[in-house]
Amino acid sequence: MRYDLNLLPIFVALMEERSVTRAAERLGMTQPAMSNALGRLRAMMQDQLFVRERYGIQPTPVALDLAPGIAEALAALDDAVLGQQEFDPATAERLFTIAPNGYVEYAMVPAIVARLGEVAPGIKLRLTPYGNDLADTGVVSGTTALVMGRIVDPPDNLVVQHLMDERLGCVVRSEHPEISGRITREQFERLKHVNVMPPGRLRAGLFQALAQQRLKREVAISVTTFFAVAEMIAVTDHIGTLPRLICRRLEADARLKIVRPPVDLGTFPVDMAWHVRYRHDPAHRWLRQLIGDVVRSLAGG
């Protein structure tokens, strides 16, 4: 029996998106074309593969059994083909999907995009949410090129590169009636805090640092992105505890000022991870090198 290998990436997209519509959007297909491809997949595998439910589709037991083998087959093909290709960043045209956490998206991705514009104008980035788990990003299956942030319990098929260790600072409004220089422990514990809630298990960093220092914090409001913090701080007497690179970005805002925390809150790691299928991909290697150079430049600035 001859197999249509073009259907395998479609199978992976359906497995990860659990939606015909989202899978079609991800692969740049129309929904009718995706539905047609699903029909051919079902005929080839002699199984329904995906069953419609109220909020999308769910894989059948056969699909769940097939998924690891198909992912490995695609990885082997990519490894063989991409490793033979030459890459010229000045002329290349390619789209990379990356999954940065909120901190990386705010503090690092703009500088990465600026560098790409200088040296590789044909390279484009598509950002996908980091989510609650590495599997949610698509990096575990290889459909997402890179994940950036704090990498927790990576599976064996991911390569992890440490980029930097980040420290924390505090931000208040520039006309704050109590804070002029370094904040005291008493002030830190008495003031109300704006807290940024990262997803899932990634909440541990700041919470652990505060607990180790026996430093209390009264959280007045929790937000989901760093973009909201500046506006919250600028119109209140609240305080925020943020990564150093974000504090550096906020220094340009005349409404705000950066102060040192009352105690050393330690550091947290910033990592980058990718599927082993990309280890010999020249374009992917080049992008990883560029990101590493940009992050080192930011960390030393």
What is the pLDDT, as a whole number, of residue 284? 93
Sequence ranges of the domains in the chain: 7-82, 94-157+272-300, 168-266
Fold equal for 94-157+272-300 and 168-266: yes
Six token digits for residue 41 = 């997949």
Q: Output the pTM of the full model.
A: 0.73
Q: Where are the beta strands (DSSP E) in 21-157?
A: 50-53, 56-59, 94-100, 123-127, 146-149
What is the pLDDT, as a whole number, of residue 89? 92
What is the pLDDT, as a whole number, of residue 42? 93
- Give the DSSP H/E element, type plus range, for residue 27: helix 20-27
Six token digits for residue 11 = 């199978």
Apex 164 CA angle, 161 and 165, nearest 5: 125
Q: What is the pLDDT of residues 74-113, one digit of tens each?
A: 777 766 665 556 789 999 999 999 999 989 999 999 999 9
Portion of the chain with pLDDT greater than 70, in percent: 93
Fill in the DSSP letter of residue 153.
S
User: Which class is domain 94-157+272-300?
Assistant: alpha beta
Six token digits for residue 80 = 């063989």
What is the pLDDT, as a whole number, of residue 171? 95
CB 291 within 8 Å of CB 272: yes
What is the pLDDT, as a whole number, of residue 201? 46
Q: Which is higher by pLDDT, 165 or 212?
A: 165
Residue whose pair of structure tokens reads 């220094």 in the numeric block: 251
Topology of the domain covering 7-82? Arc Repressor Mutant, subunit A (1.10.10)
Across the range 260-280, mean pLDDT stands at 89
pLDDT of 258 > 90? The answer is yes
Choosing among 3.30.800.10, 2.30.40.10, 3.20.20.100, 3.40.190.10, the CATH entry for 168-266 is 3.40.190.10
